[in-house]
Amino acid sequence: MDDDDRADGSDGLEPVPSKVLVDEDRDDVVEAMSLEEREEALNRSRWNVFMFLGIAVILFGFALFPMPFSADYQSSLGGAQATKDVGLIWGVPIAGDDITDVPVRVDIAIDQPPPTHSELVAFMIQTADCTDSAALSDGQVAAENGSSDHGYATTMGRVTAGSEEQFRFRVDPGQYCLIVKFLDIDGQNADQSGTGTVEIDGRVWPNQAIGGLFGLVAVVLAALSFVGAQRHGNEYRSMKQPKEASVESTVLAAAGPSGPPAAGPSGPPSAGPSGPPTATEAPAPSEGPTVLQEDEDGTAWLDAGNGYVHRRMPDGDFDQTVFVPNPDGDGFVPHEG
């Protein structure tokens, strides 16, 4: 077979349309579920609600669980201070001040401050090496100038023995070092001799943004599952216990016709009589009450039925008294009832 024959044969073939399942078809499939399938879907939706709520509780608990640490305050070459390698703080890697920053809290209990101090300060310096003095010094200067890469907090004044201070930071994910020290009025280390004593404890919440985000997603999925469970529950109840017909529909069904009305005449009405009605077609006069007796003055006694008699006066009016035949003779007497 040559190419022309193949071309002619292919032109004669009709394309077979593919069946596309649109949303209406899916709705029909959902509505056509049997009672057992509807019950299974209801149970599955209910389990999904509890499952996603449980996952949300776990994620929120994971987000609120802090990672504790502590730091030692001790003497050094430049004066006594606390330097702690906090380590890697993970989180959502978005630079700058935003809602995804990791919360850090530092609690400091002052047993004995140095006598010449003017304030107590704390730094969260982002650096990979806490032994690099140059990096720590540059980081402190940048933190005091408001850099978002580092954290800085101060008491803004002297502290007393037995007091407690709490510093809060919000930092981006990274490697951090904590520095706590006393400064004098010139901004230098005020505890050169190491006479101060403090206790430092800290907490980091690195999972707050991640756990909170996925926890909210789990709550949304639980809400959607709850809506689906409500829908399946309503359908299941309607299928298992059909609604009773209302009184109005029952009365209408009983009183109404069982089928459509009969068809009317297929043609125009027939023609009427061509002439005046004959004597046999004239309507017969209606018969009035039977006259039992008529007096000379024009009074008529009419049979009212059931043994009663009405009296019609000569002027045509009726007497309001009901009469009965006189049992003792002729005539009529008033009825005594």
Residue 94 has what pLDDT? 87
Residue 116 has what pLDDT? 92
Write the CA distances from 245 to 137, 233, 242, 255, integer angstroms: 85, 21, 9, 15
The domain locations on the chain are 67-206, 291-334
CA distance 198 to 161: 9
Scanning 241-260, the segments in alpha helix (DSSP H) are: 247-255
- Dihedral (Cα; 151, 156, 161, 167), 10-degree rounding: -30
CA distance 181 to 116: 13
Residue 21 has what pLDDT? 45
* Series of mean pLDDT values for 10-residue runs along the chain (337 residues): 51 50 48 77 89 94 93 90 94 87 96 94 95 93 91 94 95 95 94 93 94 94 91 80 57 54 56 54 60 84 82 86 83 81
Is residue 189 classed exposed, middle or buried when 0-12, 13-18 and 19+ CB atoms within 10 A define those classes?
middle
Write the CA distances from 132 to 63, 83, 137, 160, integer angstroms: 32, 11, 9, 32
The predicted-structure confidence for 212-245, as pLDDT tens digits, reads as follows 999 999 999 999 999 988 888 888 788 777 655 5
Overall residue count recorded for the chain in this entry: 337
The predicted-structure confidence for 302-319, as pLDDT tens digits, reads as follows 888 777 888 888 888 888
Whether the CA torsion 66, 170, 113, 132 is positive or negative: it is positive
The predicted-structure confidence for 196-206, as pLDDT tens digits, reads as follows 999 999 999 99
Given a contact cutoff of 8 angstroms between Cβ atoms, the answer to whether 179 and 123 are in contact is yes
Q: pTM of the full predicted structure?
A: 0.55
Which fold is adopted by the domain 67-206?
A: Jelly Rolls (2.60.120)
